[in-house]
Structure 1
Amino acid sequence: MTLIFGHRGAAGTFPENTMLSFDAAIQAGAHGIELDVQMTNDGVIVVIHDETVDRTTNGKGFIKDLDYKEITMLDASDSFPQFSGKARIPTLEEVLAWAVTNPSILVNIELKNGIIEYPELEEKTIELISEYKLEDRVILSSFNHYSLVKCKSISNNIKTAILYMEGLYKPWEYAQSIGAQGLHPYFHAAKSPIVYEAQSCGIDVRPFTVNDPLVMKQMFSDSVAAIITDFPERAIELYNDKKE
């Protein structure tokens, strides 16, 4: 079975990385959500993709330079004006508390520390995951593979997955070398032979961001472990059609 993860929730139709978007993904039938974390200047882990608030909110500035109180005052409805005043940047703790009330869903947390190295981002993230007893329902991913190795040194109970954009040589061997259980390639890098070889070696492949119906069908045909998509409802419908 190929699982469906809502990319930043249901980012194709709702403000990304907001509770509105996460709720929409689950209501659409997604098996999990993918989200991104940064850290405020007073050490609060917040859910937002960019290092700045400029693109997705009505504010300006780097997350690292803003405190949590300032973050809470921002409108995160970005390009969805119909949700103006109804969307804000959540904390990771808020999302994990929500996940506890949705016991069947998985949560892919992407650590956004490739550009800004947030002190103790790994420790604080894992501490929250453990506090909510979600170790078996969380996947930690990052383009910063040093960060994934650090996560493994902190806790070996949480799955990790390597994010990458272009072709890696024998990526399943690389994943194994750093203790990762998954590969999260950009979908162009998820060629069928690589998918087959990786998954035969016990490494789950979950390509992103799979929005095109034809690409979705190919991924389903390849039996990838999951796809990460902005349109979970579309993906669920196509997958169900495939089974009929």
Structure 2
Amino acid sequence: MTLIFAHRGYSALYPENTMKAFREADKAGADGIELDVQLTKDGEIVVIHDEKVDRTTNGKGYVKDYTFKDLRKLDASSQKKKLFSQIEPIPSLIEVFEWMKSNRIICNVELKNGVFPYEGMEEKVISLIRAYDLADRVILSSFNHYSIVYCRHLAPEIETAPLFSEGLYMPWIYAESIGSQSIHPKITIAKSELIKASEEYGIAVRPYTVNKEKEMHRLFSIGCSAFITDDPVLAKKIRNMYEPKRG
């Protein structure tokens, strides 16, 4: 079965990378969530995509220049204020892992350490995964492949997945060479032949960000491992067409 990962939570309807978006993704029946982490000035792991808070909150400036306490005062639902009157704070990764105790959802943690190298990020994230006993429910991904290799070195028990947006020749061989069990390519380069060849080789493929119905149909029909989408409800509706009818 092709698994459905909710991109930054159920971000088609709810404020991205908030606990509200994660809870709603779980309610919608997503198999997993995808989220992004950065580090605050005082070293807390927080869930936010951009290096700056400007786009997704009512604040301004870099995440790295805020203390955790000050960052928590911002409203991460400001983009969708017409829909939500309630304030949604930027979550900490601890908060997400605490919530994961109550469900069986899988979590893809993307390390956003390409612009700022965030010293100690890998160790902090891995330490938390181990503290919450989530090694079998977390996948670590990044566009920073040096970071992925370092994670693999620190914690061989945790699955890693390099992210890439441009074509790689035989990416399954590359993934194996850096000790990763999966790859997360951009949907525009995730051709069916690439997916099939990779999975036959034993490397899982989870393309991002899949929002078009046509692409969802293609991925379900070829039995792709999983994909990452803003709309888990639409994805689930389409997946139901491919599941054998019980009779």
TM-score normalised by length of structure 2: 0.97
TM-aligned CA deviation for residue 242 of structure 1:
2.4
Distance 2:84 2:128 in 1: 29
Equivalent AA in structure 2 for residue 174 of structure 1: Y
Deviations 1:52-89 (A, max 9, x none): 10000000010011100111100011321122433110
Identical aligned residues as a percent: 53
Pairs within 5 Å for 1:194-205: 194-205=194-205
1:75–1:84 CA contact under 8 A, matched in 2: no
2:80 corresponds to: 80
2:221–2:242 CA contact under 8 A, matched in 1: no
Pairs within 5 Å for 1:48-197: 48-81=48-81, 82-102=83-103, 104-197=104-197
2:57–2:79 CA contact under 8 A, matched in 1: no
Equivalent AA in structure 1 for residue 28 of structure 2: A
Q: Which runs of 5+ in 2 are unaligned?
A: none
The number of residues matched between the two structures is: 243
1:51 match: secondary structure: coil
Q: Which runs of 5+ in 1 are unaligned?
A: none
Equivalent AA in structure 1 for residue 49 of structure 2: H
Runs (4+) off by over 3 Å: none
1:34–1:110 CA contact under 8 A, matched in 2: yes
Q: RMSD across aligned C-alpha pairs, in angstroms?
A: 0.8
1:5–1:30 CA contact under 8 A, matched in 2: yes
TM-aligned CA deviation for residue 241 of structure 1:
1.9
TM-aligned CA deviation for residue 150 of structure 1:
0.5
TM-score normalised by length of structure 1: 0.98
Distance 1:242 1:223 in 2: 10
Deviations 1:129-156 (A, max 9, x none): 0000000000000000000000011110
Distance 1:105 1:18 in 2: 16
1:54–1:60 CA contact under 8 A, matched in 2: yes
